[in-house]
């Protein structure tokens, strides 16, 4: 059976492979888009796909950098969480402070989500700029031992730099989705421009060459529009699969490394069993931070959001509990 350190090493290796996959996917999208431009002439210029590939990679890097710097604000606003002060909940601050010292990291900011459903997540760009958020439902449901187990799980995300990986994968996924949306809008704009200017303008001034020009604009606009939809239909789901694959790995890693902090698997076992029995819906189960939650959120109908369920962002709670019980048996 693998040790905790072996599992950590293996999951980190898989995470880097997924990030390499993201870079490859963005490069492929840029190259294919460049081919569209390259074959507009009789003599295709194969330097154009190279330029568009480099452009896409540079754009993804710049976009990721800015999201990376502000990821905590983005996710906390999306989750409607507010920051707590120590006087608001001294017990919660005491638990987070103790776990942070055990993990040898600075104490993260603490946020509260006004949600009846029990859940929690961690975010930030590194241990020096990190935050944890818990729902009011989790705070009310868990006793100190269980709450310590959940928070050790979240502190482990920070210690293991899972939060950095999550920030990057969220940014890259939204970049790919944004690129597809921009291409769809640009294609529609070009088709409308060619339509209105080429066919509903002043016909007395139209020439054969002019008609060819506007037909070319229409055709090119259609190609760009179609390319945008291909990215949205194929590229975005692939990116989401890779993002959720990272999420699945990070949850397993945080469970076992969290036990390293508390030396008490039973606390997290009890917490996960309580989460397993709870079916309280979240008001915003598809928030940007939903893939980061310790437990898969459910909507008002008691269902997990389609993409979360389809790509299995979290290992089943039974599987996570069984793994922790095996660790408990080894002690």
* Stated pTM of the model: 0.74
Q: What is the pLDDT of residue 105?
A: 94
Higher local confidence (pLDDT), 200 or 180: 180
Average pLDDT, stretch 63-75?
87
Out of 115, 146, 148, 154, pick the active-site residue: 154
Instruction: For 183-218, write each residue's pLDDT tens digit.
Output: 888 888 877 765 544 444 444 445 555 666 667 777
Of all helices (H) and strands (E), which one includes residue 113?
Answer: strand 109-113
- Are the beta carbons of 121 and 264 closer than 8 angstroms? no
To the nearest whole percent, how much of the chain has pLDDT over 70?
77
Average pLDDT, stretch 170-180?
84
Residue closest to 163 by CA, chosen among 241, 247, 268? 247
Say if residue 251 carries a ligand binding annotation.
Answer: yes
- Are the beta carbons of 190 and 82 closer than 8 angstroms? no
Say if residue 301 carries a ligand binding annotation.
Answer: no
Q: What is the pLDDT of residue 229?
A: 87
Say if residue 273 carries a ligand binding annotation.
Answer: no
Q: Is 154 assigned a catalytic role?
A: yes
Q: At a CB cut-off of 8 Å and minimum separation 6, what does 257 contact?
A: 4, 8, 156, 159, 160
Residue closest to 34 by CA, chosen among 43, 42, 45? 45
175/116 Cα distance (integer angstroms):
32
Instruction: For 248-307, write each residue's pLDDT tens digit.
Output: 667 777 888 888 898 888 999 999 999 988 888 887 766 666 778 888 776 665 555 555
């Amino acid at each position: 059976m693998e040790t905790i350190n072996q599992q950590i090493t293996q999951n980190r290796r898989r995470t880097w492979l997924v990030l390499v996959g993201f870079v490859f996917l963005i490069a492929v999208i840029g190259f294919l888009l460049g081919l569209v431009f390259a074959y507009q002439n009789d003599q295709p210029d194969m330097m154009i796909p190279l330029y568009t590939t480099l452009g896409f990679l540079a754009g993804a890097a710049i976009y990721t950098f800015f999201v990376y710097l502000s990821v905590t604000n983005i996710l906390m606003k999306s989750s409607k969480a507010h920051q707590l002060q120590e006087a608001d909940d001294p017990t919660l601050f005491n638990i987070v402070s103790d776990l942070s010292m055990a993990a040898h990291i600075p104490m993260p900011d603490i946020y509260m989500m006004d949600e009846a459903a029990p859940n929690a997540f961690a975010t930030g760009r590194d241990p020096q700029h990190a935050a944890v958020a818990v729902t009011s439902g989790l705070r009310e449901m868990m006793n100190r031992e269980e709450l310590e187990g959940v928070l050790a799980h979240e502190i482990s995300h920070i210690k293991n730099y899972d939060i950095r990986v999550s920030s990057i994968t969220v940014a890259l996924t939204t970049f790919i989705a944004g690129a597809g949306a921009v291409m769809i809008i640009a294609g529609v704009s070009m088709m409308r421009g060619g339509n209105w200017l080429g066919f509903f303008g002043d016909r007395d001034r139209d020439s054969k060459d002019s008609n060819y020009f506007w037909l070319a604009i229409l055709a090119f606009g259609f190609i760009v529009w179609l390319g945008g939809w291909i990215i949205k239909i194929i590229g975005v789901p692939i990116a989401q699969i890779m993002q959720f694959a990272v999420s699945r790995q990070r949850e397993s890693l945080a469970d076992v490394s969290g036990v390293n902090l508390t030396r008490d698997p039973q606390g997290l076992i009890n917490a996960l069993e309580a989460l397993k029995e709870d079916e309280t819906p979240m008001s915003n189960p598809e928030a940007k931070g939903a893939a980061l939650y310790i437990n898969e959120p459910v909507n008002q109908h008691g269902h997990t959001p389609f993409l979360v369920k389809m790509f299995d962002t979290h290992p089943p709670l039974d599987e996570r509990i069984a793994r922790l019980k095996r660790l408990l048996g080894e002690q």
